[in-house]
A = this chain, B = another copy of it.
Amino acid sequence: MYELKVVTRFAAAHQLRMVGSKCENMHGHNWKIEVYISGDRLNAGGVLVDFGEIKAHLADVMKKLDHKFLNELEYIPDGKPSSENIARFVAAELQAKIDSANARVSRVAAWESDDACATYVVEQ
């Protein structure tokens, strides 16, 4: 099995509703996003999917998040822009753009800082 990983970043504001945590204050992060695409067979070029294609699709998804106040976006799952839900959103958006029967988004990781990351693992 092959698994591609592509890394990108976006910056945004968010606010969580968690009793007793400083995350309740409106704040923001430079998120680092890692997307994973998995599949079993390489194409005629010897690759699973062209990295350039993944990067182009991912850049389109990032436009929906970058420099936004995430709590105002109706497309964030449950209206709760945690890193968990951001990762889940990116996975669904990217999967809808990947045009390959042999490759699927398997995981997306959202790092909200250098030491804290939430990954959504897609059910297969």
Residue numbers of A with Cβ under 8 A of B are 1-8, 16-19, 21-23, 42, 44-48, 50-52, 55, 77-78, 80-85, 87, 109, 112, 114-121, 123
A2 adjacent to B42 (CB under 8 Å):
no
Q: List 13 A-B contacts (CB under 8 A).
A: A2-B118, A2-B120, A3-B118, A3-B121, A4-B118, A6-B116, A16-B45, A18-B45, A18-B47, A21-B50, A46-B85, A47-B82, A51-B112
Taking CB as reference atom, which chain B residue is nearest A48? B84
Measured CB to CB, the closest approach of chain B to A55, in angstroms, equals 8
Main secondary structure of the interface of A (DSSP, over half): mixed
Alpha-carbon distance A10/B52, docked complex (angstroms) = 22
B115 adjacent to A8 (CB under 8 Å):
yes
B117 adjacent to A5 (CB under 8 Å):
yes
Given known pairs A16-B47, A21-B50, A22-B52, the reply for A85 and B42 (CB within 8 Å) is yes
B117 adjacent to A4 (CB under 8 Å):
yes
